[in-house]
Amino acid sequence: MYTYVTKKMQALAILNAIEDSSWMDAYRISVDTETTSLNPYEARLLLISISTPSDNYVFDMTKLSVAMFKQVLENPHIIKLGHNLTYDYKIFYHHGIALQNMHDTMITDRLIHAVGYKMGFSLADVTKRRLGITRDKSIRDGFINKTNSFFSEEELLYAAEDTSYLHPIYEQQMTEMKKLGLMRVYQLEMSIIAPTAMMEYTGVYVNKDLLSQMKHPFEEHIRIANKALQDLFIAHGAADTIVFSKDGYYCVNTNSTQQIKDMLARVGVNIPTLNVKDVQRWELEQKKSKKKKTDDFSYFDIIDDEEIANAIDQYPGVENKYLRALGFLKGARILLNTFIYGILDRIDNTTGRVHPSFNSLGAMATGRYSSTRPNFQNIPTDKKLQLLGLGAYSIRNCIEASQGKRIIIADFASIELVILAALSNDQHLLEEILRGDVHTFVVREVLNYKDITPQNKKKEPHKFWRDAAKTLSYGIAYGTTGRNISETLNVMLASQGYKITPQDGDALIAKWYSLFPTTANYLNANARKAVLDGYVTDAWGRRRNWDRSTFIDKWKRFAAEREGKNAGIQGSSATMTKRAIQLFWERADKTKARMIICVHDEIVVEADEEYTEQACALLKEAMEQAIKEVLPNVAHDVGKYEGTSVDPKVSVRYDK
């Protein structure tokens, strides 16, 4: 049963009645919008569906004005239920309405489930799972690009049902969250819907011309590296057929892992996989068995462009010259296709900006944000471009503050070890991190390299050891194994002439654990908890869950142990960032400063030039307060030491 509302007087009467109910404790309505587009700048509002706990209304927005909804939707005493409210927030904001007091049934279900495997969270999925009702999504899809203003009985009923289901879903969710101790993180998640929606709505200014200028040099690098590989395979007799086209000739599609592996086998390089990690593993084996070289040639003999030949020659990671050229080619290709064409294609026609989606529980197992279309959490650093011999260009520098504004970048510097130490309440580790230099300590005590001092730690060869110590400590926070850490360290320390066996790796982890037994206990306890209880929690009670029935497979169990060690750390880090986002949202002038990107432990804000100083201060304050609230046992030290102080940087672009 629902009421189809087309007349202004009728609509006002209904909205007034809802407003009158707001004196009730925790009075709630559910809200949904049907629009012609998912882009808030283009979307035409077709229907607004509202359900109270007892009645369903479908408002025909082709006949009614959205302004009359302002009072109800902004009323802080009325809870607004919705599925994926980030979207509805943007739609209403575009019409001058800022939703208040939201309960998002999609985010809440993600929070409750929080598992490491793929699960559906569309309204249809949640309705099916919780109420056993199957929904036909095709009716909803019919609203997109709708040109007329006639609504069928079926469409109206569908809209009304959608909102009516949200009430029983809400009741289930609240009961479950209270039982699971999730209320604190739930409040946090709901409070960042608005800043998340506004981050998407605001978008990021990208200098189109600057980014476009990068196409040609990247294409040249790719063309030359590709030609070099073709020539090599042909010269070494690996080519069956050579195809000639207007762009030159080729014997293999260098994009195809399968074809490349076949070609490599023909020139004597028999390798199972081509990713860097496996290649490094394979190369170590080759060295051990003293196989004779199959790549006895120079890039300078086959590549005319000296600079590119040199860049490939210097490209780090792997030794074998076929594989190195291939790695170089793949690196250049991903940058061109994903980040240059990919971002250019996403510049919005209406705003001239790029509007990525930020999914506040995209990393649904851990609590971190994810970013899509495009992903703004994996923009290459300038170092990557330098390695490709393209250091004259920068993708990050194409992301600019718009006219009269500034970009502010602030991150929690190396917060994960602080979190690990604080969660473990390991006074010794905290002491080393906060008042000393834990990596230098690990160099001396675990790696047994004694020449390092606080003064020379940034100079070679001491820096090598410090980097290795850093890798070991972070590896431990990720639940690394002896075998893995030995391989990683072998690559890092190869130039120093050191070799580490998997057994040595085990010994390093054991030594690290023996120096910080309290932290070791925390990590091992969480590994056990993941397996025995099927969940672990972060500092504010955020849970990550595992399906314990899979643990009869010991490899699944081992994976859960590693994940269990890391989940509390990564979850707490996400909680900290989100708390900072909320505090900044509460305190900053939203018309003068807005978050535009969030990369896990980094918050990027675009602010009016004259408001920059104040925005920096507010951001620093919000982030440092977040550290204190998430890690109360280090609150006393916050702001005093490198690991617990935040130092926002101001620029006209996203440079880091």
Partner DNA sequence: TGGGTTAGCGCG
Partner DNA sequence: AAAGCGCGCTAACCCA
CA angle at 60 for the pair 54 and 65, rounded to the nearest 5°: 105
Does the protein bind DNA through residue 479 (CB under 7 A)? yes
Closest CB to DNA among residues 167, 544: 544
Q: What string marks each residue from 311 to 350 as x (binds DNA by CB under 7 A) or -?
A: ----------------x--xx-xxx-xx--xx--------
Does the protein bind DNA through residue 274 (CB under 7 A)? yes
CB of 515 to DNA, least distance (A): 17
Closest CB to DNA among residues 103, 600: 600
* Helices within 315-381 (DSSP H only): 321-334, 342-344
108, 164, 173, 359: which one binds DNA (CB under 7 A): 359
Residues 6 or more apart whose CB falls under 8 angstroms from that of 558 comprise: none
DSSP-derived letter for residue 590 is: T
Euclidean distance between CA atoms 1 and 38, whole angstroms: 28
Does the protein bind DNA through residue 147 (CB under 7 A)? no
81, 468, 599, 638: which one binds DNA (CB under 7 A): 599
Residues from 86 through 115 that contact DNA (CB under 7 A): none
CB of 269 to DNA, least distance (A): 13
Closest CB to DNA among residues 210, 413: 413
196, 570, 612, 644: which one binds DNA (CB under 7 A): 570
Closest CB to DNA among residues 95, 208: 208
Euclidean distance between CA atoms 335 and 314, whole angstroms: 18
Closest CB to DNA among residues 255, 521: 255
CA angle at 40 for the pair 35 and 41, rounded to the nearest 5°: 120
Closest CB to DNA among residues 58, 527: 527
HEC string for 88-144: HHHHHHHCCCCCCCEEEHHHHHHHHHCECCCCCCCHHHHHHHHHCCCCCHHHHHCCC
CB of 378 to DNA, least distance (A): 3
Euclidean distance between CA atoms 544 and 180, whole angstroms: 11
CB of 474 to DNA, least distance (A): 4
381, 427, 453, 633: which one binds DNA (CB under 7 A): 381
Does the protein bind DNA through residue 137 (CB under 7 A)? no
189, 563, 606, 624: which one binds DNA (CB under 7 A): 563
Tokens 């490899």 -> residue:
555
Euclidean distance between CA atoms 556 and 562, whole angstroms: 10
Structure tokens at 523: 């990590």
Closest CB to DNA among residues 8, 649: 649
CB of 509 to DNA, least distance (A): 11
52, 366, 575, 644: which one binds DNA (CB under 7 A): 366
The full DSSP string for 14-35 is HHHHHHHGGGSTT-EEEEEEEE
Q: What string marks each residue from 601 to 620 as x (binds DNA by CB under 7 A) or -?
A: xx------------------
Tokens 């290795």 -> residue:
468
CB of 342 to DNA, least distance (A): 4
CB of 469 to DNA, least distance (A): 12
* Helices within 341-461 (DSSP H only): 342-344, 382-387, 415-424, 427-435, 438-445
182, 309, 363, 409: which one binds DNA (CB under 7 A): 363
Euclidean distance between CA atoms 478 and 420, whole angstroms: 11
HEC string for 183-241: HHHHHHHHHCHHHHHHHHHHCEEECHHHHHCCHHHHHHHHHHHHHHHHHHHHHCCCCCC
CB of 283 to DNA, least distance (A): 14
Nearest to 365 by CA among 504, 650, 563: 563
Does the protein bind DNA through residue 440 (CB under 7 A)? no
Closest CB to DNA among residues 60, 538: 538
Closest CB to DNA among residues 191, 338: 338
Nearest to 395 by CA among 452, 334, 448: 334
Per DSSP bridges, beta strands 3-5 and 56-60 are parallel
236, 562, 587, 592: which one binds DNA (CB under 7 A): 562
Range in contact with DNA (rule: CB under 7 A) among 135-143, 287-295, 372-380, 516-524: 372-380
Q: What string marks each residue from 390 to 429 as x (binds DNA by CB under 7 A) or -?
A: ---------------------x------------------
CB of 354 to DNA, least distance (A): 11
Does the protein bind DNA through residue 555 (CB under 7 A)? yes
* Helices within 267-369 (DSSP H only): 276-289, 299-302, 306-314, 321-334, 342-344
Residues that contact DNA, how many (by CB under 7 A): 68
Instruction: Report the interhelical angle of 482-493 vs 462-477 (nearest 10°).
Output: 160
DSSP-derived letter for residue 460 is: T
Nearest to 348 by CA among 375, 380, 373, 377: 373
Euclidean distance between CA atoms 652 and 656, whole angstroms: 12
4, 558, 611, 641: which one binds DNA (CB under 7 A): 558
Does the protein bind DNA through residue 371 (CB under 7 A)? yes
Using CB under 7 A as the criterion, which residues of the chain lie in contact with DNA when the complex forms?
116, 253, 255-259, 273-276, 278, 327, 330-331, 333-335, 337-338, 341-342, 359, 362-366, 368, 370-375, 377-381, 383-384, 411, 471, 474-481, 483-484, 488, 553, 555, 558-559, 562-563, 566, 570, 599-602, 656
